[in-house]
């Protein structure tokens, strides 16, 4: 019996020739990441274990992105703890205000993730890096502390679900629409502790930015990880970003690999999707929604704050104004993306349209700052979750969509198909 790409990565890191779903292994880690929410808890556990050193000073990644720039006194204390830890342990890859970006956009951009690697992170959306053909997953603070100290961790080999998307996507449909459509079909627990392996003609047409978006939201279906088999697009991206001279391992699933399920969809006629409150699985075609007014639009986050996303939004917003009663907040995912957006004139377009442009931060995605909602308010957002109270008051509503839908809705003041404002 052959193995899937995920099984091959875990087998290699466990020093085994073959593994199968359900098997428990101890595997070596290529990277451990944590942020200003998960990091302090991990450090507390690390100190309880009486460890003195990390397993590799160049393989620990600390990113201050959730409540930064410091949103309040508690957030400032969290970040101070991480700064002290980074200095004490001489952590090479420490990213603070002015240098940082939203972690899941920053690490691949900085060349800290290579195809075939095994990476854990103190954030559920660590599964983003599967777009590069890596195995990456979020873990709890105790596992994070152990991984940081030992450079290895136990894993249960996840079963894999294969998703095959055929056809050519229409101009207004992106990776965000594909993953929303998928979660709408299988549900928020449809891939519980499984691998979501994304394949097919439509996936091969996607840019790396869209692939990151799809893998980012695998956790919204309960998945252990999301992954895209590497191809020429992967190789091109990695070659451009391999600043750390990493060794890439380009695994592919075997033809006789075992999958728990296989889904095949023809997506040529797929429409832009939107997740209605209060679940990423409550998905509809944008055209089916009807008239729903909004108070805020967010374009950013680890899901859709990349350059491709900003370009798409700017294309719709150019020469237009956002609705006078819609607060529109643009958050580039990293400083590099921010700078390129300035060079390309995208920031000018946003400001001319009446948007606010922020320094990189997770901010409003989880109701931290930079766009918290009041009671009864509605937001259309390019983020990844829309649970009750996710972005503020429990009586507010969040609608998840692509940057194109968010920009179109910001212009009209209601949830809108992008073709209506192009």
- Where residue 160 falls among pLDDT bands split at 50, 70, 90? very high
Q: Which residue has the tokens 């053909």?
A: 133
- pLDDT above 70: percentage of residues in the chain: 100
Round to whole Å and give the CA distance between 263 and 202: 14
pLDDT at 148 over 90: yes
Query: What's the confidence (pLDDT) of residue 1?
Result: 83
Q: Please name every residue paired with 283 in a beta bridge, in sequence order, or none if there are none.
A: 275
Mean pLDDT of 58-67: 96
Tens digits of residue pLDDT in 67-124:
989 999 999 999 999 999 999 999 999 999 999 999 999 999 999 999 999 999 999 9
Q: Which residue has the tokens 């859709």?
A: 304
Round to whole Å and give the CA distance between 356 and 110: 26
Query: What's the confidence (pLDDT) of residue 241?
Result: 95
Query: What's the confidence (pLDDT) of residue 361?
Result: 96
Tens digits of residue pLDDT in 332-381:
999 999 999 999 999 999 999 999 999 999 999 999 999 999 999 999 99
Residue 144, helix vs strand vs coil: helix
Mean pLDDT of 391-410: 98
Inter-axis angle of helices 38-48 and 141-150, nearest 10:
60
Most confident of 14-18, 98-102, 418-422: 14-18
Query: What's the confidence (pLDDT) of residue 290?
Result: 87
Tens digits of residue pLDDT in 189-227:
999 999 999 999 999 999 999 999 999 999 999 999 999
Domains of the chain: 5-264 (3.30.499.10), 274-416 (3.30.499.10)
Tokens linked to 95 = 């990213």
Total count of residues recorded for the chain: 422
Task: Name the nearest CA neighbour of 227 among 260, 190, 257, 195.
Answer: 195
Round to whole Å and give the CA distance between 338 and 147: 32
Residue 93, helix vs strand vs coil: strand
Which residue intervals of 344-395 are DSSP H helices? 346-353
Q: Please name every residue paired with 35 in a beta bridge, in sequence order, or none if there are none.
A: 63
What's this model's pTM, rounded to 2 decimal places? 0.96
pLDDT at 422 over 90: no
Round to whole Å and give the CA distance between 349 and 98: 23
How far, rounded to the nearest angstrom, does the alpha carbon of residue 3 sit from its chain's CA centroid? Answer: 26
């Amino acid at each position: 019996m052959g193995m899937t790409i995920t099984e091959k990565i875990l087998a290699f890191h466990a020093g085994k020739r073959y593994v199968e779903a359900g098997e428990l292994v101890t595997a070596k880690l290529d990277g451990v990441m944590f942020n200003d929410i998960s990091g302090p808890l991990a450090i507390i556990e690390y100190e309880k274990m009486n460890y003195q050193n990390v397993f590799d000073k160049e393989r620990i990644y600390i990113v201050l992105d959730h409540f930064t720039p410091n949103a309040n006194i508690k957030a400032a204390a969290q970040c101070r703890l991480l700064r002290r830890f980074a200095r004490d342990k001489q952590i090479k890859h420490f990213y603070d205000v002015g240098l940082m970006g939203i972690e899941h956009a920053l690490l691949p951009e900085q060349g800290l993730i290579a195809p075939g690697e095994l990476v854990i992170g103190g954030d559920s959306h660590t599964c983003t890096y599967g777009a590069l053909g890596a195995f990456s997953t979020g873990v709890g603070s105790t596992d994070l502390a152990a991984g940081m100290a030992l450079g290895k961790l136990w894993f249960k080999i996840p079963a894999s679900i294969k998703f095959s998307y055929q056809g050519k996507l229409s101009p207004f449909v992106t990776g965000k629409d594909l993953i929303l459509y998928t979660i709408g079909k299988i549900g928020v627990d449809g891939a519980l502790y499984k691998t979501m392996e994304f394949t097919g003609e439509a996936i091969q047409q996607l840019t790396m930015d869209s692939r990151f978006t799809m893998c980012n939201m695998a956790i919204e279906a309960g998945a252990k990880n999301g992954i895209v088999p590497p191809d020429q697009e992967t190789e091109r991206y990695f070659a451009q970003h391999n600043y750390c001279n990493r060794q890439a391992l380009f695994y592919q699933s075997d033809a006789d690999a075992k999958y728990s399920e296989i889904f095949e969809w023809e997506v040529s006629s797929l429409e832009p999707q939107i997740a209605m409150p209060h679940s990423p699985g409550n998905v509809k075609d944008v055209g089916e929604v009807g008239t729903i007014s909004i108070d805020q639009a967010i374009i950013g986050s680890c899901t859709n704050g990349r350059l491709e996303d900003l370009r798409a939004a700017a294309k719709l917003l150019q020469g237009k104004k956002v609705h006078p009663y819609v607060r529109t907040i643009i958050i580039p995912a990293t400083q590099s993306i921010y700078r390129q957006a300035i060079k390309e004139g995208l920031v000018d377009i946003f400001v001319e349209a009446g948007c606010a442009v922020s320094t990189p931060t997770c901010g409003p995605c989880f109701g931290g700052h930079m766009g918290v909602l009041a009671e009864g308010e509605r937001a259309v957002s390019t983020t990844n979750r829309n649970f009750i109270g996710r972005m503020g008051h429990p009586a507010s509503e969040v609608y998840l969509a692509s940057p194109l839908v968010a920009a179109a809705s910001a212009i009209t003041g209601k949830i809108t198909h992008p073709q209506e404002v192009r």
